[in-house]
Structure 1
Amino acid sequence: MRVPPAVYVLGSSVFVLGTTEFMIAGLLPEIATDLDVTIPQAGLLISAFAIGMTIGAPVMAVATLRLPRKATLLAASAVFLAGHVLAALAPSYELLMVARVVSAVATGAFWAVAAVVAVRLSPADATARALAVLVGGLTLANVLGVPAGTWVGQQLGWRAAFWSVAALSVVTAAAVAALVPRAAGASTAPPRVRDEVRVFRGRRIWLALATTAAFQAAMFAAFSYFAPLLTDVAGLDEADVPLVLALFGVGSFLGITVGGRIADRGLFLNIVGSLVALAVTMTVLALVSGSTAGAIAAVFAVGVAGFSIAPGLNARVFVVAGDAPTLASSVNTSAFNVGNTLGPWLGGAAISAGWGYVAPVWLAAGLALVALGVAVAAWDQERRHERALVAVGRPALATCDA
């Protein structure tokens, strides 16, 4: 079954939204100098975006629950555009911080609603692939958008990078207005907040969210410190690090594409298999990190193995949420950002303890096993849930196949 063209439009929007999250990582010196703040203070602009996503996504999901989905997408795009215009014009660090938070809240709102629309526009046998398109947009943002935005900022000034993202957001918003159906994502009954909240009373959703957070922490505990691992341990020339990171991005995109097809055949086949593969490839990376060629190959393998899980993690939340997916999807976005926050902190703590640059990779392998344990517990819980449905004469959802 084919993924509808409108889903690719949403994926292109996610590409623009994802570019802005980490784009300024390479522009911190320019921002710090221009706004007369320290590098660590400028770095808080990245943290502020993550916090804005974590808190803003579920809040905006509830606030816009009864609005038409397409109208919400366009409103979030408009707020995102306004945030970037404000950032490009910001005369002070404080105003730039406000602009980052505003943009993050809009990003969280767009992502949560876009995921719902993508699932409901797609055939039942292609929902995981539709979600893979959205996650693929985020991956391409890291592979192409972030380096391009950083280059523009370095060549033309950091404000030009924000103007560029603002211009792209106008193009993608126009595409959403033209190609996403007006009734996209609409449910048969008006959504209610209490129905959305009721999902969180069961263990299934919390196990799904815990799997997401643990996986993301594993990935970013290692990925955040790939550069010093490659140069100081593997002996790679510093100028070649971006090429290896781009190779990691190619692997990630390949993993998402393959993972989406596997997840449509069996969610837990995708989730459990990917976590096993991630633990194995992280272990291999730690063992061969002293070899330049071995480290490069292992980094690519980590990208393929790790990101192949993304479609399954997102689709799993929709299965658990049933007819009330918007808040659950937004909280899953928050879970990803919790992992984004914890992973680098844990990896940095391991390095600060004097265990070296290989330590975050071993830590990531351990966190992948933690995520695997949670996923297996979720699998067992799902089997019990489906047996309970059968016992009362209700059809079970085919989510436990492996």
Structure 2
Amino acid sequence: MNRTALTEAGTAMRSTPGKNGRAYAVIALLAASTFTFITVENMPIGLLTLMAPSFETPPAMIGLLVTGYAVIVSLASIPLTKLSMGIPRRRLLCSAIALLVLATLSTAFAPNYYVLLGGRILGALAHAVFWSIVATTAVSLFDRPKHGTVISIVFAGSSLGTVLGIPAVVWIANQQGWRPTFLVMSALGICIFILLSILLPGGSRDDEDTSSGSTPDRRTFRAIMLTAAVGVSGIFIAQTYITLFLTEATGLRTSELSLALLAAGISGVLGVFLGGWLAPRKPNVAIAGPLALISVAMFCAYAGAASVMLVVVMFSVVALGFSAFAAAVQVRVLIVAPGSTDIASATSSTMFNIGIGSGALIGGAVVENLDVRTTALASGSLAAIAVFVFLLGLSPAAQRQVGIRRRNLKKVPLEPGNMQ
């Protein structure tokens, strides 16, 4: 299909109510997909104390599954994105989801730690492809002025992975064991695969008006990427071992973990909409503000570790800040990307997973050599450093664009855009 035909198809799509409903349905499915990927990625964190005895390994070894997953994603995101640039989004997204289902099933039936690790590697490869294109796929369905809102909706699914997914799998695991939780997530993945394969439009990505950044700024893009790597590393020093922190440092009972994670997840959902709203309006605040908030919250958690209420509130603040930061980064990436937005999104995914992996690794070292409470101190310190990294790396053009972008921001109804 040529560019003219695609444009005509997009016009017809906007004028047909049934097709408009199809766009909204696709966005809902993409949000469900981010929910599934985030839940599966972080299940070893919530099930840390249950999975370790099954494989006769210390909790830190299960924590390393998060590190290994992140390392694979970090190494594979950009190469796989470049290799798959010519593949239609529907085929690519559905293939990633199918691979995740296979990986999750292999984890559910893993007889030993090495098979478990193999399943995580498969899941990481699916993750690398999925997160490089999910945001650009979502915004390609709508006009540019509403990209922040669209990103918020899609990323709300990832936050719900914390608010619903992790507490739900912890509850199921406490009732039935940890393996059935992976079977449940496999079934959800199969449902999403079927529906997306029917509803998501195919076609080439080359004709989309979202294939490049609207205001390219290489220096600001680099600053955001470096900030993401440092900031996310700081966050996951403590976040990877949140269950140990709550039970050992704070004294929370295991039966109450689900409620604590639920509180953090609710905050995360609010944070993702906050980040999506702030990013086009106050871009610098949207990036630096959440990291500063996280830093303060982690220092408070360290100082008041004996107070269950204080620690739960502080980890909820961290969840809000992290979700706001993640959403803001993705919106900004689509604006300042110096080249292909798919490659820029893959780079963002790489930086986030470098942060997740290094954070989990540092956190494991802190737990093994010091104590779990100290993870909060290390987390707060690195988050504060990330704020300075961002402010020092901004280009002068980024400062000028803040005022210009705020003046040009239009209040446009959320109408589907060009669907291929």
* Class of the TM-score when normalised by the shorter of the 2 chains: 0.7 to 0.9
Counterpart in 1 of 2:387?
372
Question: What amino acid sits opposite 1:262 in the alignment?
Answer: L
Secondary structure of 1:8's aligned partner: helix
Alignment partners' CA distance in 2, 1:88 and 1:241? 22
Mean CA deviation greater in 329-338 or 258-267: 258-267
User: Is the aligned partner of 1:261 residue 2:277?
Assistant: yes
State how many pairs are aligned.
386
Structure 2 residue aligned with 1:100: 120
Secondary structure of the corresponding residue to residue 122 of structure 1: coil
SS, match of residue 398 in structure 1: helix
TM-score (norm 2): 0.78
Q: Which amino acid aligns with 2:221?
A: I
Separation (CA, whole Å) in 1 of partners of 2:291 and 2:52: 39
- Residue 120 of structure 1 is matched in structure 2 by 140
Aligned to 1:180: 200
Question: Aligned partners of 2:248 and 2:50: how far apart in 1?
Answer: 26
CA contact (8 A) 1:379 1:400 kept: no
Give, as a single letter, the amino acid of the residue that structure 1 aligns with 2:146: A
> Of 27, 34, 43, which aligns to 1:7?
27
Rounded Cα–Cα distance in structure 1 between residues aligned with 2:247 and 2:64: 26
Task: Please say if residues 159 and 268 of structure 2, whose CA atoms lie closer than 8 Å, have aligned partners that are also in contact.
Answer: yes
Q: Is residue 2:323 matched to residue 1:307? A: yes
Hey, what's the Cα distance between the residues in 1 that align with 2:110 and 2:238? 34
2:163 to 131, 143, 159: 143
Cα RMSD (Å): 3.6
Name the amino acid aligned to 1:106: A
1:328 is aligned, of 331, 344, 361, to: 344
Percent identity between the two aligned chains = 24
Q: Residue 77 of structure 2 aligns with which residue?
A: 57
Give the equivalent residue in structure 1 for 2:358: 342
Q: What is the alpha-carbon distance in structure 2 between the residues aligned to residue 166 and residue 156 of structure 1? A: 16
**Runs of 5+ consecutive residues of structure 2 not aligned to the other structure:** 1-19, 409-420
After TM superposition, the structure 1 = structure 2 runs for residues 146-165 of structure 1, keeping only pairs within 5 Å, are: 146-153=166-173, 155-156=175-176, 158-165=178-185
The two structures have a TM-score, normalised by structure 1, of 0.81
- The Cα shift of 1:213 comes to 1.2
Which string of whole-angstrom CA distances, capped at 9 and with x for unpartnered residues, describes residues 320-360 of structure 1? 22551112211211211111122233344445554x54432
Distance 1:137 1:286 in 2: 30
Cα distance, 1:26 vs structure 2 = 5.2
* 1:383 equivalent in alignment to 2:403: no
Q: 1:363 to 1:85 in 2, by over 3 A?
A: closer
Task: Kindly provide the amino acid, as one letter, of the partner of residue 161 in structure 1.
Answer: T
The CA deviation string for residues 276-332 of structure 1, in whole angstroms up to 9 with x for no partner, is: 322333333334434343333333333323322221111222222255111221121
**Is the 1:121–1:184 Cα contact (8 Å) retained in structure 2?**
no
Match of 1:398 in 2: 405
Aligned mates of 1:6, 1:104 — CA distance in 2: 23
Distance of 1:94 and 1:244 partners within structure 2? 31
Greater relative contact order (CA < 8 Å, ≥ 6 in sequence):
2
Distance 2:225 2:85 in 1: 21
Corresponding position: 1:81 with 2:101:
yes
Relative distance call for 1:38 and 1:344 in structure 2 (3 A) is closer
Corresponding residue of 2:374: 359
Aligned residue number for residue 393 of structure 1: none
Structure 1 range deviating more: 116-125 or 293-302: 293-302
